[in-house]
Amino acid sequence: MTIKVGDKLPDAKLRVLTAEGLQVRTTDDIFKGKKVALFAVPGAYTGTCHKMHLPSIFLNAYAIKDKGVNTIAIISVNDAFVMNAWKRDTDQRDEAVFLADGNAEFTKAIGMELDASGNGLGIRSKRYSMLVDDGVVKQLNLEPAPGKVEVSGGETLLAQL
């Protein structure tokens, strides 16, 4: 089942690498009582994700937060070490939390898995953006093709706030 507007996010565990080491964050830790702009990408450092999707988020980060969003989160089916390196290399103003869904637990639970094994990438996430308010999906922008950023970028979600 694919998640839709009005649905509550399922319970899942995600990982973040912090100065204290590898940390587990539950969906409640991330979303409960907060308004979160969640951006999902198929893979850290991959062409479209790195050169198009992330810049669209960071170019609009201040404006998104000015509209009442507490947290900007970027999620991918990558491990926490890769996500931490990607944050280090791209998030110069510390505007987002980078969430590792290494086993695709969250991605599968919301029906957003993408089988990219034909390209040697295994199971990944579809590309989407989502506005989540207190754990409930308020906006969902699913990209029709993983190699494009036409409806899932920062400017689209900003216009919906």
User: Which residues are designated catalytic?
Assistant: 49
What is d(CA 115, CA 5) in angstroms, rounded to the nearest whole number?
24
- Cβ(128)–Cβ(143) below 8 Å: yes
